[in-house]
Structure 1
Amino acid sequence: MSNDPHISSRRRFLQRSLSLIPLAAAGGTLLTQGAQATVVKSEAVTEQYVASFFNDDEWRTVIALTDRLIPEDEMGPGAVSEGVPIYIDKQLELPYGYGHLWYMQGPFSEAVPELGYQSPLVPRETWRRGIRALNQWCQGQYNTVFASLSPAIADSILQQLEEGSLNFSDISGKLFFTQVLENTKEGYLADPIHGGNQTLASWKLIGYPGARADYPQVLDHPNQTYPLGPVSISGKRTL
């Protein structure tokens, strides 16, 4: 890992995500501050996908949300071009999306994270209610939906959601933001077999070798650059 004090917000975010939670990212800081696209985006992966869970309007919102959280910049591809929206759509049709992986019986109350998930809403409901509430609020404030807002306004709204200063009648804004951010990070760091990280860009960025069988052999040589690119479970690789 680089010790450059000017390391990008994206790299700091990825380092923090992997060091704190190795399997499923949770919590974190908004990535949009200072991140501006400097190269032409390649969104073919997401553009060619037909969503199963989200309808067309919801799908546009998902793309807009993930694009602002991890935009494409000089450090590499962003969430959209890496297929993160696809990852999210697929996850919401699996047991995870229905809340089957958690204890979902009440009572529910405000509590520290160590006490577990404290909402009666499963991920599918959180996404659907959150998108609907967000777009209705944007229509009232800006006469358009979230996906049509300028990057600066979109980032301001996301900041309000993250801080908990923007809430809706049928869902907590902070709860919705947390769900979106968690799934976006998961998709960006996941194995490509799950839909996101299609070019292994995030793994290459942080120096993660993926499913290489020979990687344990280099663990006795810390602080030395690993010479090979990452490999996915399916065998997909990059230089």
Structure 2
Amino acid sequence: MMATDSKQPQDESRRRFLKYSGTALGGVVLGGVIGGLIGSNVKQTTKDEEPAAPAPTPTDTKDYNRALMFFSQDQFLTAEAAAERIFPKDDLGPGAKELGAAFFIDHQMASAFGTNARDYMSPPFYKAEASQGYQLTFKRKELMALGLDSLNLYSNSKYQKQFVEITPEEQDAVLTAFEKDDVHLKGVPASTFFSMFQNLTIEGVYSDPLYGGNKNMQGWKMRNYPGNQMSYSNEIEKEEFIKMKPLSLADHLDIG
């Protein structure tokens, strides 16, 4: 009896050990269940706390389409100032600068259009008639860079300041001199540069924003132009004028 009594505390101790170690082993195997229950109990014993509010998502308003691809910084600023004189801001709406026309021109110069990729550009070169259009050895991007640099050279010669530093009236006088061929460029009529720059400015004001200009479709909104609508089938038979919210090509992009 004494021997039996002496073993009982050891048996109880062994049973407790096996019980707790089994729980521990079970916790390893069934950690997802046991751990969840234990974690739940621990949370209940701690002070209730409000769940942390999710961090607000930052609103990124940067327009990544507005980046220089061809112009130097000085050329871009000159183009921006010259475009603003061709299409200035007034009571009807923003001008070429705000609409980003200079970015449009820059992107065009960096494209196949600027390198005359689809034009025959090999010699021999002959003096062309006015009705034959562009017949020069210059690529468009070369003509654009030459013209913008020449705006500054002429401005410095006449006013001792860069084009962007002279008054709007003086800028108009400089552009008029180029338009009338009163300025001599290297191997190209100044009016050829002016005509190309003027056309590109207007295109930048009214092109799809995808190409860098017409920021927020403000150029279209000034003209009540609907932009790139997918269809007019529901409106084409209506007799009254219908004012539609303009849409860009990007508005039809479906990547879902």
TM-score band by shorter chain is 0.7 to 0.9
Amino acid in the other structure paired with 1:111? E
Higher relative contact order (CA 8 A, sep 6+): 1
Residue of structure 2 in register with 1:94 after alignment: 111
Match of 1:111 among 129, 145, 161: 129
1:216–1:157: structure 2 CA closer, same or farther, 3 Å change rule? farther
In the alignment, does 2:75 pair up with 1:80?
Answer: no
User: What's the counterpart of residue 181 of structure 2?
Assistant: 164
Matched AA of 1:172: P
User: What secondary structure sits across from 1:105 in the alignment?
Assistant: coil
How far did residue 182 of structure 1 move?
1.5
The correspondence for 2:248, drawn from 205, 226, 232, is: 232
Equivalent in the alignment of 1:144:
161
Q: Provide, for residues 111-142 of structure 1, a one-character-per-residue CA deviation record: whole Å limited to 9, x for no partner.
A: 133x2321111111011111222211211111
Structure 1 residue runs of 4+, over 4 Å off?
A: none
TM-aligned CA deviation for residue 108 of structure 1: 3.7
Matched residue, 1:41: none
Distance 1:108 1:198 in 2: 41
Structure 2 alignment gaps of length 5 or more: 1-60
What secondary structure, in the 3-state scheme, does the structure 2 residue paired with 1:235 have?
A: helix
Match of 1:206 among 223, 226, 237: 223
TM-score, normalisation: structure 2: 0.68
Query: What CA deviation, in whole Å up to 9, does each residue of 1:123-175 have, x standing for no partner?
Result: 11011111222211211111111111100011112122222233334432101
8 Å Cα contact 1:166/1:173 also seen in 2: yes
Superposition pairs of residues 115-134 of structure 1, within 5 angstroms: 115-134=132-151
2:45 is matched with none
Whose helix fraction is larger, Structure 1's or Structure 2's?
2
Residue type of the alignment partner of 1:233? L
| Residue 97 of structure 2 corresponds to residue 69 of structure 1 | no
For residues 43-54 of structure 1, what are the structure 2 equivalents within 5 Å?
49-54=66-71
Q: CA deviation at 1:65?
A: 0.8
Residue range with higher mean Cα deviation, 163-172 or 80-89:
163-172
Quick check: 2:89–2:96 contact (8 Å CA) kept in 1? yes
Q: Which residue in the other structure is 1:25 paired with?
A: none
> What is the Cα deviation at residue 52 of structure 1?
2.4
| Structure 1: gaps of 5 or more residues | 1-43
Measure the CA separation in 2 of the matches of 1:195 and 1:132.
22
Name the CA distance, whole Å, in 2 between partners of 1:195 and 1:45.
13
- Residues 184 and 136 of structure 1, relative CA distance in 2, 3 Å threshold: same
